[in-house]
Amino acid sequence: MKARIEEMMAHVAAVELATPDAVEAFRIEYVGRKGKMKDLMAAFKDVPGEDKRELGPMLNALKQAVEGKIKEASQGSKVQVQASGNDATRPAGGIPKGTHHPLQVVRREIVGIFQNMGFAVAEGPEIEDDWHVFSGLNFPPEHPARDMQDTFFVARNPDLLLRTHTSSVQVREMERREPPMRLIMPGRVFRNEAISARAHCMFHQIEGLYIDKGVSFADLKQTLLHFARCFFGAETRIRLRPSYFPFTEPSAEVDVYWGLETEVDKRITKGTGWLEILGCGMVDPNVLRDNGIDPEVYSGFAFGMGIERITMLRYQIGDLRLFFENDLRFLGQFEGER
């Protein structure tokens, strides 16, 4: 019996358990239900008393050696498999999720509100010609917006420029459609401005256009009130202030009532409680005529708003440059918005 224990001791010390299968086979061989340790313990019972003193500690040592071997080998093999990256049974890690850009969140929401009112989405090119950005919209030849100071021209060509507003899409759509038309037109626009917390050379607008028989200023006002209440809340109030755009007559700027409760309210509304959100008006008869629509038969309204401005109001963002810096600490805060 002594010789058997010594032989097994030597085997346990020398055996190499490189794979999980080898560990399991070893475990069954020694400590399984019909394993070698069971046999030894059974045999030990019949050993004469004086031999037990010598063999008892040897058996214990063997048992510990076997258990130690199994423990060491199973830990070692796990580490090895994980390090090689080939453990197909390992639970998958989470896949990092992106977030929607706040400008996209707001654009989608605004467009959705108008789609619910029956407006269809239209888009146009960012590189435009003079006709679609200015002339077709009743801009006089000497209008300052045509100046190099305000407009980016492409390759010094006076007839190739980056659109300064999405109103160019109005002209394109009037060209290709017959009234009635009810369109919502999101897009990117460009102006030659110094970049600051409040201005950028590239930003986004959403343009609206509705042309049909008998469209009135009351329709414009009610459409915009409905929009403001969907977007800013059911109790929202708006006001219209007279304004000027070459392509609308009469023209107005729309303010929403923001409130005057906090210091921030006072600051962003300049003490008035009102915030400007968009420009609008009745499509100028000259524009209809120039684009092949009879102003004696049809009338329409148009409006345009800046997505950055509205996004800044919605999320209380103080610096417009944050939208374009791709800082994940900023963008990650819009998780869950859609």
Least distance CB 92 / ligand PHE (angstroms): 49
In single-letter form, the type of residue at position 276 comes to E
Asked if 161 touches ligand PHE (CB under 6 A), the answer is no
Dist CA 146 CA 140 (whole Å): 9
CA contacts within 13 A on the Cβ side of 130: 14
Task: Give yes or no for a contact between 30 and 71, defined as CB atoms under 8 angstroms apart.
Answer: no
Residue closer to ligand PHE (CB basis): 248 or 299: 248
Residue closer to ligand PHE (CB basis): 62 or 310: 310
Asked if 279 touches ligand PHE (CB under 6 A), the answer is yes
Task: Give yes or no for a contact between 142 and 129, defined as CB atoms under 8 angstroms apart.
Answer: no
Selected from 102, 107, 146, 167, the binder of ligand PHE by CB under 6 A is 167
Asked if 281 touches ligand PHE (CB under 6 A), the answer is yes
Dist CA 126 CA 132 (whole Å): 11
The two three-digit tokens of residue 301, written as one number? 């309204």
Write the binding mask 207 to 246 for ligand PHE: x where contact by CB under 6 A, - elsewhere: x-------------------------------------x-
The two three-digit tokens of residue 149, written as one number? 């100071």
Q: In this chain, which stretch among 78-86, 141-149, 264-272, 276-284 interacts with ligand PHE, using CB under 6 A? A: 276-284
Residue closer to ligand PHE (CB basis): 111 or 280: 280
Task: Give yes or no for a contact between 197 and 292, defined as CB atoms under 8 angstroms apart.
Answer: no
Least distance CB 311 / ligand PHE (angstroms): 17
Count residues contacting ligand PHE (CB under 6 A)?
11
Residue closer to ligand PHE (CB basis): 113 or 331: 113
Q: Which DSSP symbol is given to 116? A: H
User: How many helices, marked H, and strands, marked E, lie in the chain?
Assistant: 12, 10
Q: What is the largest CA-CA distance in the chain?
A: 125
Asked if 124 touches ligand PHE (CB under 6 A), the answer is no
Task: Give yes or no for a contact between 273 and 136, defined as CB atoms under 8 angstroms apart.
Answer: no
Q: Which DSSP symbol is given to 91? A: P
Residue closer to ligand PHE (CB basis): 66 or 302: 302
φ, ψ of residue 298 to 5 degrees: the values are -115, 150
Residue nearest to ligand PHE (CB): 304
Asked if 146 touches ligand PHE (CB under 6 A), the answer is no
Least distance CB 303 / ligand PHE (angstroms): 5
Q: In this chain, which stretch among 47-55, 114-122, 256-264, 277-285 interacts with ligand PHE, using CB under 6 A? A: 277-285
Residue closer to ligand PHE (CB basis): 152 or 330: 152
Q: Give the rounded distance of the alpha carbon of 19 from its chain centre.
A: 46
Dist CA 77 CA 267 (whole Å): 65
Least distance CB 167 / ligand PHE (angstroms): 4
Q: In this chain, which stretch among 6-14, 78-86, 102-110, 273-281 interacts with ligand PHE, using CB under 6 A? A: 273-281
Selected from 138, 151, 248, 269, the binder of ligand PHE by CB under 6 A is 248
Positions in 293-312 near ligand PHE (CB under 6 A): 302-304
In single-letter form, the type of residue at position 64 comes to Q
CA 106 → CA 100, 151, 166, 206, distances in Å? Answer: 10, 26, 17, 11
Assign residue 47 a region (left: φ > 0; alpha: ψ between -120 and 50; beta: otherwise).
Answer: beta
Selected from 165, 172, 200, 309, the binder of ligand PHE by CB under 6 A is 165
Footprint of ligand PHE (CB under 6 A): 165, 167, 207, 245, 248, 279-281, 302-304
